[in-house]
Amino acid sequence: MARLSRPSGILLAGGASRRFGRPKLTEPLDGAPLFHWPLRALLASCEDVVIVLAPDAPDPPLPA
C-alpha cells in the first residue's frame, strides 16, 4: 500500500495591517507572536510550510 504524504501549507502574512493599526506579525498573544499560532498548527500537520511576507517585511522570529 502506498504511503500518503502530508500536505504542504502556506501562511499568508504579507498584509499591511492597516485596520489593525500595528504590525500583526509580531503582536504578542499569550506570550508568543500572533503569527506563531497558525504557524505551529501548520507545522504540526504539514510536511512543508511556506511563509509569505511583504517584500519589505523583516524576517519574523520563528518558534523554537
Task: State which residues form the domain around 18.
Answer: 8-53
Give the number of domains in the chain.
1
- Determine, yes or no, domain membership for 2: no
- Determine, yes or no, domain membership for 62: no
Q: Residue 60 has what pLDDT?
A: 85
Q: Residue 15 has what pLDDT?
A: 87
pLDDT, tens digit, 9 for 90 and up, residues 15-61: 888 898 888 888 999 999 998 999 999 999 999 999 999 998 888 88
- Determine, yes or no, domain membership for 1: no
Q: Residue 16 has what pLDDT?
A: 85
DSSP letter assigned to residue 30: T
- Determine, yes or no, domain membership for 34: yes
Pick from 55, 54, 40: which is nearest to 9 by CA?
40
Phi, psi angle pair for 45, to nearest 5°: -125, -5
- Determine, yes or no, domain membership for 59: no
CA distances from residue 43 to 9, 12, 18, 62 in whole angstroms, order as listed: 8, 14, 28, 11
- Determine, yes or no, domain membership for 63: no
- Determine, yes or no, domain membership for 36: yes
pTM over 0.85: no
